Amino acid sequence: MNSMTGFGAASVPFCGASLRVEISGTNRKQLECAVNLPHAWAELEPRVRSFVAQRISRGRLNIGVLLQSADDSGRGNFRLHLNKLKALNEQLEEVSAVCGRDLELSVDTLLRLGVLTDSIEEETTPERVWENALQSALQQAMDQFLAMRAQEGKNLAADLLIRTEGLRELRTQMIEAAADVPTHYREMLLRRLRDQGLVLEEPDERLAKELALFADKCDVSEEMTRLNSHLQQFEKFISSTGEAVGRPLDFLCQEIFRELNTTGSKANSAKLAQLVVTAKTELEKIREQIQNVE
């Protein structure tokens, strides 16, 4: 079982610089992938997405690809496109005049508009980047990311197993409480009859029929059997490795809630009703944890 949260990063040398890939993940019901590539290599985004989709089934991933200069002078490998800058500056002056205030250009804006570019980005083809650097860095970063997700998954699995065991204990208590309900109803019924001055001679067919109907109405044995089956499946999925189990676990949570809800509607016992409420509270905690499971 894997968590959907994690982080991985890797750097590889490339053209006298360093190409760095960073991957971070958070929980989502479906797979969402946001890829941030240098503008000149934008056509590699489908490859990056395909690479991720082969390894990840759920979660939101943010993938950043950075080209870090190895130039000790601090100037890096940036190239300024003067013609673009002049044209942009003229348009900026017009916009400033309309707005009535001076507008400034940030470095981020220059990079996004292609006025300031990295010479390595322009001089290398996307295919060369993929073959010589990006694929390797992406693989290394993904290995780190998956390792962290696996470790987080182990921690989640341990917590979920403890909580599942708690539900098992509550199930046992619910079975015991449900077994006492017909007896308590019989005693209550006889007491009310006595209070009204009516004394039945036992065995009384009418009393036996009433008790039989009541016992059948409040019987929760089927619900408890199904609940036990759901818990067994739940534990099986938790203990599985290398599989995406978030969706089946979420489905089982819905089924467990259904059985608890039906049990509560049949309760006819304050003790049993309280046990159902406690079980639902614990199940909600489990459901919240599962939102982080792939």
How many domains does the structure of the chain reveal? 1
Residue 86 falls inside a structural domain:
no
List the CATH number of the domain containing 176: 1.20.140
Backbone angles phi, psi at 281, to 5 degrees: -65, -45
Lowest mean pLDDT among 69-73, 77-81, 234-238, 277-281: 69-73
Residue 144 falls inside a structural domain:
no
Confidence of residue 47 (pLDDT cuts 50, 70, 90): very high
The predicted structure's pLDDT at residue 35:
94
Confidence of residue 136 (pLDDT cuts 50, 70, 90): very high
Mean pLDDT, all residues of the chain: 81
Number of Cβ atoms within 10 Å of the Cβ of 164: 18
The predicted structure's pLDDT at residue 24:
95
Residue 136 falls inside a structural domain:
no
Residue 271 falls inside a structural domain:
yes
282 versus 179: the higher-pLDDT residue is 282
Number of Cβ atoms within 10 Å of the Cβ of 63: 24
Q: What is the per-residue pLDDT across 241-252, written as a single tens digit (0 to 9) for each?
A: 767 888 999 999
Number of Cβ atoms within 10 Å of the Cβ of 122: 13
Backbone angles phi, psi at 65, to 5 degrees: -115, 120
Residue 96 falls inside a structural domain:
no
Confidence of residue 74 (pLDDT cuts 50, 70, 90): very low
Residue 195 falls inside a structural domain:
yes
Q: What are the start-end ranges of the H helices in the chain?
A: 45-53, 82-99, 107-112, 119-123, 126-129, 135-195, 205-217, 221-239, 246-265, 270-290
Residue 42 falls inside a structural domain:
no
Over range 215-222, report the average pLDDT: 72
Give the residue numbers spanning the domain of 159: 152-290
Residue 29 falls inside a structural domain:
no
The predicted structure's pLDDT at residue 117:
60
Residue with tokens 């019924």: 189
3-class secondary structure for 213-265? Answer: HHHHHCCCHHHHHHHHHHHHHHHHHHHCCCCCCHHHHHHHHHHHHHHHHHHHH
The predicted structure's pLDDT at residue 275:
92
The predicted structure's pLDDT at residue 110:
62
